[in-house]
Structure 1
């Protein structure tokens, strides 16, 4: 009887070890889903609406670490919004990314502070730095196509 119990415990331990190994190599397996929100880009001078994006919300460490790396591509009008506790200097990298993106840093009041065009990398990771409480990642060229520049604002629908 004790031998059988020990066997079951050993099998359970192996299963847990296998799950931990898979999660360590690909943390995206631990993410069960994202909330979404609408993000509107607005001209900082005129208030004119420039573009709207439906964004997945990355508001926890694991979702922020994985980011878009578990995504094959973004359609027009899609993005990911990273929500941090406060505005600070931040650096983003293109870890395991399959496609290029714009990285838009946004201050607490919604003002766009910095925009980077970032390409997938095969070697060491480039740090894309900016100041913000929010960071919006959208398909590469989105900012230029819609005329979004530093000084414009993002209106984030977070009820």
Structure 2
């Protein structure tokens, strides 16, 4: 799956980008596979009873209970091995805090090319931030994606200029393209922005 995202078009002097078809950036970040947690099964048995003890059906029969399994908290190393990460907070222009996530940084050409196409799913509080050196018109696609995304285009002042809602593609996603302008592009789960009240004009707070 590591070749699932391809760069279609480059703007002047730009290396191929993943998830991104067109851009003026040479920067990009590696993608990592999201490990699937394997639930732990707990063996349970129901005691048997005999006809010689008729009361056992009501008093001695125990209902097996499954022991709840602990859900591992995803870590940067497990979700995106080899990637740098950063914490991103979202706020209104007036400074009201809205939400926060952890984002893997796509900074190299290969990381831009691959994007999240090698990821089967994304935790609700995770994303991928594509980092460039300057503002540019950009085009991202959904080639070989297994789930839908919100794409946030962000300018050099870290203000959201536009948001594209990209549902999971029905085919290979090559024809599902989304345009925007910014220095950064943040990908999160589909409709995440609506669930968290994040909209155009809001501000991202993060350090690189």
Instruction: Compute the TM-score of the two structures, normalised by the length of structure 2.
Output: 0.60
Conserved? CA contact 2:149–2:187, under 8 Å: yes
Per-residue CA deviations over 1:6-40 (Å, capped at 9, x if unaligned) read xxxxxxxxxxxxxxxx97678969x9611000111
DSSP-derived class of the 1:125 partner? coil
Deviation at 1:156, TM superposition (A): 1.6
Give the counterpart of 2:192 among 142, 146, 150: 142
Higher helix share: 1
Per-residue CA deviations over 1:27-83 (Å, capped at 9, x if unaligned) read 969x96110001111112x21111101000000111011000000101111000000
In structure 1, the partner of 2:91 is 42
Conserved? CA contact 2:4–2:143, under 8 Å: no
Deviation at 1:120, TM superposition (A): 2.6
In structure 2, the partner of 1:131 is 181
DSSP-derived class of the 1:50 partner? strand
Instruction: Compute the TM-score of the two structures, normalised by the length of structure 1.
Output: 0.78
Runs (4 or more) in structure 1 with deviation over 4 Å come to 22-29
How has the CA–CA distance of structure 1 residues 23 and 41 changed in structure 2, closer, same or farther, with 3 Å as cutoff?
Answer: closer
What CA distance in whole angstroms lies between the structure 1 residues aligned with 2:116 and 2:2?
16
What CA distance in whole angstroms lies between the structure 2 residues aligned with 1:136 and 1:83?
9
In structure 1, the partner of 2:156 is 108
- Give the alignment's Cα RMSD to 1 decimal: 2.3
Conserved? CA contact 2:127–2:186, under 8 Å: yes
What CA distance in whole angstroms lies between the structure 1 residues aligned with 2:82 and 2:147?
21
In structure 1, the partner of 2:146 is 98
* Unpaired runs of at least 5, structure 1: 1-21
Deviation at 1:127, TM superposition (A): 1.6
How has the CA–CA distance of structure 1 residues 41 and 58 changed in structure 2, closer, same or farther, with 3 Å as cutoff?
Answer: same
